[in-house]
Amino acid sequence: MMKIYILLMFSWLTLACSQQEVYSSKAVSKLSQSESVIEATSLSADGQLTIVVNNDGVCLWQNNKQSNVPKCLSASHAQHIEIAYISKNKQFFYLSNRVSVKKYAISNFQLVGEWQVSDNIINDISVSKNGQLLLLGFRSGKASIIDTQTNKIITYQKHRLDINAVSLSENGQVAFTGSSDKKAQLWNTSTGETLFEFKHGSRVNHVDISADGLVGFSIDAVKDRKFWNLKTGQLIASLDTYLKFMEVNDSVFSADKRSFLTGSPRQVLQLWRVADGALLAQWQSSMQYGRASVLSVAINESNNETLVNTKSATAIIASNSDGVLEQWDFPVHE
């Protein structure tokens, strides 16, 4: 009962802080993709694919199919896996146990490559659109760029303390990293040159970058939740919320960079306007086994090949720690 009360209070406070009416709706589709709490999950950028890792194995779901039987790897491939990632071109997926990363081809589930990290612990990974460049952020404050075709590895000491989050532009040319040293950095992946550095009041827990590398988002552990113009280094806006504590597990920019979707450990998805940080919409993820932290989010604006096709709406898709895949619709206003 107390958990329900806390969640209701969280939703009420968030809605109360917005300066405009916040859209909300019930899920138009819900699918269980695991019979137990999962270890890791990742949606493709359009929400058409889900990788689900649990004690039974690693399974790839095609979410746009009515009759859906996943393709799976055995339980041995899932041992100690804590990070999963699908490349934006939907040709590869990546699994990490924090001391190594494995790359698999989605077409045949064959292992393409593996990279061991002997003296570092991986906190986060990101991948270029074509799946070739792999960005690793380490607890040591170092970051590595791996060319998965040539096996060339370049490592930079980018931060003084742990790198908690990383994000890579689609072309792989710029990286955005957030650290416990209270800084977020935009830097060139070929040279390691820092292009912009953004200071925060506390450790930076999450960062994200738009597909073209021109807009960024960073959030620290206390109150800094900011959108950045990564061409000029100027602040665009801060999230319009007075919540004293906010966490983001995953996020994504819309294709036009006008809106930004976040998923939180508290079952909540929120859609924000980048220009002024206003909260536009909010949805609640479903519990199945009592946790339901939102682990991966996606926006599908193509109006096709989603769980439920709705021509007049943008599909908002999420995968949570209970293994539940859900879709909500956000009306498109012409």
Q: Which H or E run includes 217?
A: strand 215-220
Instruction: State residue 333's pLDDT score.
Output: 54
* Strand 40-43, strand 49-54: pairing: antiparallel
Instruction: State residue 11's pLDDT score.
Output: 47
Q: Profile the chain (334 residues) by mean pLDDT over runs of 10 residues.
A: 39 48 94 94 96 97 82 96 98 98 97 92 98 98 98 97 98 98 98 98 98 98 96 98 91 97 95 97 91 93 57 84 95 63
Instruction: State residue 10's pLDDT score.
Output: 43
Instruction: State residue 66's pLDDT score.
Output: 65
Q: How many helices (H) and strands (E) does the chain have?
A: 1, 28
Instruction: State residue 14's pLDDT score.
Output: 46
Instruction: Give CA–CA dist 184/235, Å, rounded.
Output: 13
Residue 152: burial class (beta carbons within 10 Å; 0-12, 13-18, 19+): exposed
| Full set of structural domains in the chain with CATH | 25-331 (2.130.10.10)
Instruction: State residue 245's pLDDT score.
Output: 87
**Nearest CA to 228 among 241, 243, 213?**
213
Place of tokens 């950095």: 185
Q: Which residues of 204-242 are buried (b: 16+ CB within 10 A; e: fewer)?
A: bbbbbbbbebbbbbbbbbebbbbbbebeeeeebbebbbe
Instruction: Give CA–CA dist 39/316, Å, rounded.
Output: 22
**Nearest CA to 193 among 212, 179, 174?**
174
Number of Cα atoms under 13 Å in the Cβ half of residue 96: 26
Instruction: State residue 12's pLDDT score.
Output: 44
Instruction: State residue 148's pLDDT score.
Output: 98
